[in-house]
Structure formats: structure tokens, C-alpha cells
């Protein structure tokens, strides 16, 4: 009897602080704090008010709202733009399928993507580039996500099929975007016409997909007991990490051509992608190496004792533990790769930032509107990298490796 | 033991393609052949191209006259000087912007971290907004925001903004009143230098004695007192006027005198250091939060005053965690200073770029640039790693 009474006493959680108590504890806990609060509140309100009133009333967003297609796909031929649409729709379809299969974080992403599509499709404004077809396309993307969701719920659809599909999308996307020579349906589109968010995402996604395996290979190379291999990997990693990305970009855009046969020509965008990949791979390699070092030797010995081959030990025992341990670092590396893709502007590629710059420079009138354009660009980059860091934090919590336990 | 045969015999019939030693040697040779093969292939290609395009591979051009102007060189420079000199100008610019950036980013980042940890909710949220804003936009976008947007709104020379100081702000840059040495100022500087040296020596000796003997040696007041005495002495020797304020004045076309910061430098410096400060703030916050709460409570329990809790208990432990990521932030800042190219600040990379564009010297110039950044990185990490090793736990 007494025990249960005590237990009831004990399991009572402390009451959440009331609003008044919260204010007292967080804003007026001491004289110094109170003074600071009183001084800061008007400043914060003044700043918020001036930013909001500027954005709503005095800012001229023409240079942003006039060119939605330029910002998204650059100068990609307007009659071929359906190719980008097909890629986008298939990405949405697979997003929906993955949501149906795994749920969790993918659910939030799918819902957010669908919501953005619906809201854009129903925007009550007249815009030449937001015609009936575009609205229909955006609306159908929402349907795509839903169709995907129901496909994903079917048990017969195997997870491996979905993963293979995800890996096939980038390859198909590149083929579809570049087109095939002498083809009626999908003629060649030179990469000089690609631009905007399309290029930013291609560089970021391509860089992530290619740099990660290369980074893992380099990490194993550095830990290898073959002196030639480990020496080469170490020098490669340290040199790349010791110089800025701009240098690597220039190396691939100017110097690389000198060391290849005269007649060979590598596309400008591909060279940029190679530079971003190599740069990011060196950093990923160091992250992965940290993970490899954190795997206890006993695990490897146990796997060997069970008679697993070297390859099997690496793939099924070492790598999963190593990658899990350094997932936050890898996620951070991917976010910084996404931000670093902006540097391709310096070698003259029109990514999202580059398109903004060319719009500003295209018309003396728009030079006066550069504030709006740059703030818009900063906002878009901010939203995407913030979402990426949010996703990585949710993933860490889901996998139980969050450090803020 | 009846069975004397070893379980695995050295001379067991392992086929050569499964013998680990042979596989290793084979892999070694194969990887060497592939790597060397690719290198040789690239070099042959290069020489073919070099012959066709008449390129040089030597560094002899460094002595030739550069022939291009550099705006606002920090050291003496004009286009008739050599390419080597032009590189030096770029190098000084790089060092200047990254050195000052590191100092400012460290101070500001630490302040933001303290604000983030503040018990005042509003202050902590402001720090959070600052950190999240800067961590999630690309540095190049931040640089454009500062250079094209903020400095783009600055008025023409005639309508310069005046701030107390006096500081003048216009399209041509920021003009700050700056103390300059007078003719007798040299004596003051020499005396000050001697004073600093002497007081550091006295400080070290007295503190060591205090540590050995345990007696109060008043090392801090003694060295500070010495410093003040030397400064006063120098001031008197120089006739009371070691410095003169150099106040910028309007000459009809432009401001003259004072310290002038170009918009390029200011934009580069501000965006670099604010961007890095956000990352440093997270590093510092993580370090401080990682210190065990029990340590702080124990320090309070034995009656240490708050300042000593901070300096003797929290900081030494937090620094161990802070220093390694801080080193990589410093390296990042130095490397990121190469973005100067995008706004026309003439750092080592921008100067190199001009030289590449001028003549077919791409390879030697590139080697020079890479070497510069590599040695800067290695030097910074070398120096900081020595410091790092000193403050880490000694593990035996």
C-alpha cells in the first residue's frame, strides 16, 4: 500500500512551467537579463518590421517573378522542356513509392513536395509561364506521388526494385536531358543551354552519387597495407584537401585538357562535375576512414573466425558499422557539397546563382533589382540546405546515433 | 600428442593464385603499373600538346615584367615589376584577409557561442538565427550579398556617410582615422617591443617559480607593471607624441589619408569571417557543453570563484575538444579566401588567373598556386597541431 503510494508520488512528472513562470525564468532571471530583454525586444521588432515591410511593399520582385523557367532550367529549349517534366514526375513517383514502403521521413518530404506542387498550380496570378499546361503538370505531380504511395503499399513490390529504380533515375535523366544525336524525338541539347536549379541539382546529386563510392575506395586505399596504393591514396587525399575547390575547378577546366590527347574533348559540365566529385571524395574518404577506425578489431576477428572471406567481412561487417558511425559527418559533407556547387559560377557555368547573375546583368533596369535577386537566391539555397540538415538530424535520431541524447 | 603433423603446413599445396603473399605482390605491382602508366600517358600527351602550342614549363617568366596593374596593392607594386612581385602582392593579400579573418571570426564566433548558451531566451534565439542563416547559405552567395548588395547601396564619394571616429563610407571604400608614427615614434615602438619581451620573460619565470615553490610571486601585476613602465618611458623619450592621428580629408575628388579599406577587401573580410564565425560558434558551443557538469559543480563545491571555474576547470577541458575542429575551420577560411576572384579582390589565386590568361604558362602558374595553398595549409595545421598536442591529455 505504502509502496504504491510512493510510486504514484514518484512517477508524477513535474508540471510544465506556466507562461508567466517561463517568462520569468528565460527573460527576467536576473537584473542583467531583464535589462538585456528590455533592450533587445524593440530592436528585434524593429528589424522584423522593416524586413517584412520592405519585402511586401518596397521591394520590386519583377526580376524574380518574370523568369521562373530561367531560374529552374536555364536556357533549356522551351519545346523540349517536357523532358525535365518527365524526370521530375518520375522522381515524384518514386518518392511516393518510397513513402508507401518506408514511411517516416519520406512521408514528410512527399507531403511537402505535393503541397508545393498544388499551391503553385493553384496560384491565383496571371503569369505567361504558368499557363494551363504547366498548372496541369504540377497538379499531376501530386497525383503521381499518391499513385506511388499506393504502389509502395503493395507487398509484392520489393524494396530492392525501388532502390534499383532510384539508381536508374539519374542515368536515365542524364540521357534524356542530353538527348541522342540525330533523333527526332529527343534531339541533342548542348549542356551550354542547361542552367538554373537543374544544373545545381545535377551537380549536387551527381557529385554525391559519384564521390561517395570514390571516397570509400580512397579510404580503403589509404588503410591498405600495399605501400603503393596507400601512398597514392594518402597523397591524393591530402593534396585535394590542402587546396581550395576553386583550384580544383580550374584544374579540371583548364589544366586537364593539356594532359589528355589533343583530339579528346570533355564537356564543360562534365569537367565541373568531375572536379566537384574529386573534391568531395577526398573529404568523404577522411570521414569514412574515421568510421573504419571506429570498428572494433574483435568484429573483424569474429567474422574471420566464422570463415567469412575478406570481401564479405568488409561488405557485411565493417562497412555497415563504419558508415553508421560517421553518418552525421557524411550528411554534413553532402550539404557542404550542395553549397559548394555555386563555385562553378566562377568557371562560367550558369547554375542557379549564375542564372541570377546573368539576369541582373542582362538589363540595366535589373541591376537596380539585384538586392531582390540575391536575397531570393540566398533564400532558396537556405531552404534546401536547411531541409537537408533537418533530414539528416531526423535520420540520426531514427538510427539512434544522435549525439544529443 | 600422437599427431605431430602441424595443422597448416608451410609447404601445403596452396596454388599460387590463392597464396596471400603472391596475391599481395601481384596487387602491388598491378597498382603501381596502373598509376605510373596513367601518369606517363598524361605526360606524353602533355608534351605533345606543349610542342604544338609552344608552352613553357619553366619558372623563368617569373623574372619578366608583369605588365598588368593591381588595384590597391598592400606592398609597393607597379606593372613594370616582375611576375614574382605580382605573386607576392597576391600572397600578402591572401594572408592579410585570412589572418584578419581568422582573428575576427574566432572572437566573434566565441561571442555568438556564449550568446547561444545565454540564459536569456531572446539573445540565445538571435544567436541561433545568426548561426543557422550563415551555415545554410553558400559562401559565394553571402559574398555577393555583402559585396553587390550591401556595398552596392553605399553612396557616391560626395555623399559619403560619416560616422564618429571619423569614419567615412562611400563607393570607393571605408576611410578610417588611423594613428601614424611621427618622426620620433620609432623610439616608442622600440621601447614598447623591449617592454613586451621583458614582461613576457618575467611573467614566465615568476609563474614557474610560483608553480615550483607554491609561494605567491604576483606574476601578473609584476609583468603588467613592467610593461606600463616601459611604455611610459618610451612615450616620454619620443617627446610625448609617438603617434599622430591621420584623419581622412576630402580633397575635391576623393578622400586622402587615413586607413582605406577597399570595398573588395571589406566584402571579402566580412563575408569570410561572418561565415566562419557561425561554424566556430557551433564548435565552441559543443566544446563548452561537452564539459561534464559534475566538474563545474565540484569546482564550485571546493569554493573556486566563478572566474577561476571558467579559467581553470571549464576552458582547459573545453579547449581539448574545441582545438581540432577549430584548426580545420581556420584552414577552411584560408582556402575559402580564394573566392576573392569572384569579386575582383587580387589574392594569390586571382593574380595567378591573370597570368594564366595572359600567356600559355598555365602549368607552372598552377603548380605555384597549388604549392602556395598546400604550404599554407600544412604550415597552419603544423603550428596548430603542436599547440593541440600540448593541451591534450597525456596518454601513456
Please state the domain extents for chain A: 76-189, 193-351
CB atoms A353 and B148 under 8 Å:
no
- Do residues B342 and A250 lie in contact, with contact meaning Cβ atoms separated by under 8 Å? no
* Structural domain contains residue B208: no
User: For residue B56, which phi and psi values (nearest 5 degrees)?
Assistant: -100, 155
Neighbour tally for A314: CB within 10 Å: 17
Which residue out of B27, B43, B122 would a mutagenesis test of the A interface target, given it has the greatest number of A Cβ atoms within 10 Å?
A: B122
Number of H helices, E strands in chain A: 21, 0
pLDDT (tens digit per residue) in B129-152 = 999 999 999 999 999 999 998 888
Burial label, A136 (beta-carbon count in 10 A; 0-12, 13-18, 19+)? exposed
Look at strands B167-170 and B259-261 and give their pairing.
unpaired
> Does the pLDDT of residue A1 top 60, yes or no?
no
A358 interface with B at CB cutoff 8 Å: no
Most confident of A98-102, A119-123, B20-24, B99-103: B99-103
Looking at domain A193-351, its CATH class is mainly alpha
- Residue A339: its pLDDT value, please? 94
Rounded to the nearest angstrom, the minimum Cα separation between A276 and chain B is: 15
User: For residue B248, which phi and psi values (nearest 5 degrees)?
Assistant: -65, 140
* Structural domain contains residue B228: no
- Residues of chain B in contact with residue A58, where contact means CB-CB under 8 angstroms, are none
Q: Tell me the three cell numbers of residue A288.
A: 569514412
Q: How many residues does chain B have?
A: 396
* Structural domain contains residue B118: yes
> Does the pLDDT of residue B9 top 90, yes or no?
no
| Lowest mean pLDDT across A379-393, B46-60, B197-211, B230-244 | B46-60
CB atoms A370 and B353 under 8 Å:
no
Look at strands B255-256 and B249-250 and give their pairing.
antiparallel
- Residue B395: its pLDDT value, please? 52
- Do residues A356 and A71 lie in contact, with contact meaning Cβ atoms separated by under 8 Å? yes
- Residue B66: its pLDDT value, please? 76
pLDDT (tens digit per residue) in A267-283 = 889 999 999 999 999 99
Q: In this complex, how many residue pairs, one in chain A and one in chain B, have their CB atoms less than 8 Å apart? A: 152
> Does the pLDDT of residue B325 top 80, yes or no?
yes
Which ipTM was obtained for this model? 0.88
CATH of the domain at B374: 1.10.3720.10
* Structural domain contains residue B120: yes
The minimal CB distance from A27 to the residues B32, B120, B338 is found for B120
pLDDT (tens digit per residue) in B86-128 = 888 899 999 999 999 999 999 999 999 989 988 888 999 999 9
Specify which residues B65 forms β-bridges with. B82
Rounded to the nearest angstrom, the minimum Cα separation between A275 and chain B is: 15
Which residue would you say has higher pLDDT here, B251 or B303? B303
The minimal CB distance from A247 to the residues B31, B121, B370 is found for B370
Q: DSSP class of residue B82?
A: B
Chain B residue with CA closest to A226: the answer is B28
Cβ neighbours for A290, distance < 8 A, ≥ 6 positions apart: A325, A326, A329
- Residue B358: its pLDDT value, please? 74
A48 interface with B at CB cutoff 8 Å: no
Burial label, B184 (beta-carbon count in 10 A; 0-12, 13-18, 19+)? middle
- Exposure of B326 in the CB half-sphere (CA atoms within 13 A): 24
pLDDT band at B380 (very low <50, low <70, confident <90, very high): confident
- Do residues B139 and B332 lie in contact, with contact meaning Cβ atoms separated by under 8 Å? no
CB atoms A250 and B353 under 8 Å:
yes
The minimal CB distance from A254 to the residues B50, B339, B362 is found for B362
CB atoms B24 and A232 under 8 Å:
no
Percent of all residues in chain A with a pLDDT value above 70, rounded to a whole number: 95
CB atoms B362 and A258 under 8 Å:
yes
pLDDT band at B28 (very low <50, low <70, confident <90, very high): confident
Which residue out of A39, A227, A342 would a mutagenesis test of the B interface target, given it has the greatest number of B Cβ atoms within 10 Å?
A: A342
- Residue A13: its pLDDT value, please? 65
The minimal CB distance from A244 to the residues B28, B42, B373 is found for B373
> Does the pLDDT of residue B41 top 60, yes or no?
yes
Q: State how far the Cα of A316 lies from the Cα of A374, in Å rounded to an integer.
A: 47
Which residue would you say has higher pLDDT here, B232 or B79? B232
pLDDT (tens digit per residue) in A171-212 = 899 888 888 887 777 888 888 888 899 999 999 999 999 999
pLDDT (tens digit per residue) in B342-354 = 888 888 888 888 8
CB atoms A342 and B138 under 8 Å:
yes
Look at strands B178-181 and B243-246 and give their pairing.
antiparallel
| E strand segments, B39-187 | 161-163, 167-170, 173-176, 178-181
- Residue A405: its pLDDT value, please? 38
Please state the rounded mean pLDDT for residues A306-335: 90
Cβ neighbours for B380, distance < 8 A, ≥ 6 positions apart: B327, B330, B331, B334
A261 interface with B at CB cutoff 8 Å: yes
Chain B residue with CA closest to A31: the answer is B120
> Does the pLDDT of residue A378 top 90, yes or no?
yes
Rounded to the nearest angstrom, the minimum Cα separation between B337 and chain A is: 9
pLDDT band at A2 (very low <50, low <70, confident <90, very high): low
Compute the mean pLDDT over every residue in chain B, rounded to the nearest whole number: 84
- Residues of chain B in contact with residue A353, where contact means CB-CB under 8 angstroms, are 138, 140-141, 144
Residue B309 belongs to what domain range? 84-159+261-391
pLDDT (tens digit per residue) in B199-228 = 899 888 888 888 888 777 788 888 888 888
For residue A81, the SS3 value is coil
Cα separations (Å) of B47 from A82, B35, B61, B149, B348?
A: 46, 19, 19, 46, 27
Q: Which of B68, B71, B70, B98 is nearest to B260 (CA)?
A: B71
- Residue B396: its pLDDT value, please? 47
Rounded to the nearest angstrom, the minimum Cα separation between A157 and chain B is: 37
Instruction: Please state the domain count of chain B.
Output: 1
- Do residues B321 and B287 lie in contact, with contact meaning Cβ atoms separated by under 8 Å? yes
Amino acid at each position: 500500500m505504502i509502496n504504491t503510494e510512493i510510486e504514484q508520488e514518484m512517477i508524477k512528472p513535474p508540471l510544465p512551467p506556466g507562461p508567466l513562470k517561463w517568462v520569468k525564468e528565460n527573460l527576467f532571471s536576473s537584473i542583467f537579463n531583464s535589462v538585456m530583454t528590455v533592450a533587445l525586444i524593440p530592436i528585434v521588432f524593429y528589424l522584423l518590421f522593416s524586413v517584412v515591410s520592405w519585402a511586401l511593399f518596397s521591394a520590386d520582385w519583377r526580376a524574380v517573378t518574370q523568369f521562373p523557367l530561367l531560374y529552374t532550367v536555364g536556357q533549356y529549349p522551351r519545346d523540349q522542356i517536357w523532358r525535365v517534366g518527365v524526370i521530375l514526375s518520375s522522381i515524384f513517383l518514386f518518392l511516393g513509392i518510397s513513402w508507401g514502403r518506408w514511411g517516416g521521413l519520406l512521408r514528410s518530404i512527399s507531403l511537402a513536395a505535393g503541397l508545393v506542387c498544388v499551391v503553385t498550380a493553384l496560384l491565383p496570378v496571371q503569369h505567361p509561364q504558368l499557363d494551363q499546361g504547366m498548372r496541369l503538370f504540377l497538379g499531376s505531380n501530386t497525383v503521381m506521388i499518391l499513385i506511388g504511395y499506393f504502389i509502395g503499399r503493395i507487398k509484392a513490390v520489393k524494396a530492392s526494385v525501388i532502390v534499383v529504380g532510384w539508381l536508374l533515375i539519374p542515368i536515365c535523366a542524364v540521357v534524356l536531358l542530353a538527348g541522342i544525336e540525330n533523333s527526332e524525338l529527343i534531339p541533342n541539347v548542348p549542356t551550354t543551354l542547361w542552367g538554373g536549379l537543374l544544373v545545381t541539382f545535377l551537380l549536387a546529386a551527381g557529385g554525391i552519387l559519384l564521390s561517395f563510392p570514390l571516397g570509400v575506395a580512397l579510404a580503403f586505399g589509404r588503410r591498405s597495407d600495399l605501400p603503393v596504393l596507400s601512398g597514392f591514396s594518402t597523397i591524393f587525399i591530402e593534396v585535394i584537401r590542402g587546396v581550395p575547390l576553386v583550384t580544383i575547378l580550374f584544374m579540371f577546366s583548364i589544366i586537364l585538357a593539356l594532359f589528355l590527347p589533343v583530339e579528346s574533348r570533355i564537356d564543360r559540365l562534365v569537367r565541373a562535375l568531375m572536379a566537384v566529385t574529386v573534391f568531395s571524395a577526398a573529404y568523404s574518404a577522411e570521414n569514412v576512414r574515421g568510421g573504419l577506425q571506429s570498428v572494433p578489431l574483435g568484429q573483424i576477428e569474429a567474422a574471420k573466425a566464422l570463415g567469412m572471406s575478406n570481401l564479405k567481412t568488409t561488405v557485411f561487417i565493417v562497412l555497415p558499422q563504419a558508415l553508421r558511425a560517421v553518418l552525421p559527418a557524411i550528411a554534413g559533407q553532402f550539404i557542404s557539397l550542395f553549397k559548394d556547387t555555386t563555385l562553378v559560377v566562377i568557371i562560367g557555368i550558369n547554375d542557379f546563382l549564375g542564372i541570377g547573375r546573368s539576369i541582373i546583368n542582362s538589363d540595366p533596369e535589373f541591376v537596380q533589382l539585384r538586392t531582390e535577386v540575391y536575397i531570393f537566391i540566398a533564400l532558396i539555397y537556405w531552404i534546401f540546405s536547411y531541409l537537408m540538415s533537418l533530414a539528416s538530424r531526423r535520420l540520426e535520431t531514427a538510427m539512434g546515433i544522435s549525439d544529443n541524447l | 600428442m600422437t599427431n605431430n603433423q602441424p595443422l597448416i603446413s608451410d609447404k601445403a599445396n596452396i596454388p599460387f593464385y590463392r597464396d596471400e603473399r603472391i596475391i599481395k605482390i601481384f596487387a602491388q605491382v598491378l597498382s603501381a603499373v596502373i598509376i605510373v602508366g596513367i601518369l606517363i600517358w598524361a605526360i606524353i600527351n602533355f608534351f605533345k600538346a606543349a610542342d604544338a602550342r609552344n608552352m613553357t614549363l619553366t619558372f623563368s617568366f617569373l623574372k619578366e615584367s608583369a605588365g598588368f596593374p593591381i588595384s590597391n596593392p598592400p606592398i609597393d607594386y607597379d606593372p613594370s615589376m616582375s611576375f614574382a612581385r605580382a605573386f607576392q602582392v597576391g600572397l600578402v593579400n591572401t594572408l592579410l584577409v585570412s589572418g584578419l579573418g581568422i582573428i575576427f571570426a574566432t572572437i566573434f564566433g566565441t561571442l555568438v557561442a556564449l550568446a547561444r548558451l545565454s540564459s536569456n531566451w531572446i539573445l540565445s534565439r538571435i544567436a541561433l538565427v545568426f548561426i543557422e542563416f550563415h551555415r545554410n547559405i553558400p559562401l559565394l552567395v553571402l559574398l555577393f550579398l555583402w559585396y553587390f548588395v550591401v556595398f552596392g547601396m553605399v553612396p557616391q564619394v560626395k555623399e559619403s556617410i560619416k560616422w564618429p571616429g571619423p569614419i567615412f563610407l562611400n563607393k570607393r571604400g571605408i576611410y578610417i582615422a588611423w594613428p601614424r608614427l611621427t618622426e620620433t615614434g620609432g623610439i616608442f615602438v622600440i621601447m614598447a617591443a623591449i617592454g613586451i619581451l621583458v614582461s613576457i620573460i618575467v611573467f614566465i619565470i615568476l609563474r614557474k617559480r610560483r608553480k615550483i615553490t607554491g609561494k605567491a610571486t604576483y606574476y601578473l601585476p609584476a609583468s603588467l607593471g613592467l610593461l606600463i613602465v616601459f611604455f611610459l618611458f618610451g612615450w616620454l623619450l619620443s617627446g610625448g607624441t609617438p603617434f599622430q592621428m591621420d584623419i581622412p580629408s576630402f580633397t575635391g575628388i576623393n578622400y586622402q589619408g587615413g586607413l582605406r579599406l577597399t570595398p573588395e577587401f571589406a566584402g571579402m573580410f566580412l563575408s569570410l569571417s561572418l561565415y566562419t564565425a557561425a561554424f566556430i560558434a557551433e564548435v565552441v558551443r559543443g566544446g563548452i557543453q561537452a564539459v561534464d557538469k559534475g566538474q563545474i559543480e565540484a569546482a564550485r563545491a571546493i569554493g573556486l570563484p566563478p572566474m577561476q571555474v571558467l579559467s581553470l576547470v571549464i576552458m582547459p577541458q573545453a579547449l581539448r575538444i574545441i582545438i581540432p575542429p577549430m584548426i580545420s575551420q581556420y584552414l577552411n577560411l584560408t582556402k575559402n579566401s580564394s573566392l576573392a576572384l569572384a569579386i575582383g579582390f587580387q589574392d594569390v589565386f586571382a593574380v595567378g588567373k591573370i597570368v594564366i590568361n595572359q600567356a600559355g604558362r598555365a602549368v607552372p602558374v598552377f603548380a605555384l598556386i597549388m604549392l602556395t595553398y598546400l604550404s599554407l595549409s600544412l604550415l597552419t595545421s603544423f603550428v596548430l597541431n603542436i599547440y593541440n598536442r600540448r593541451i591534450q591529455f597525456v596518454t601513456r
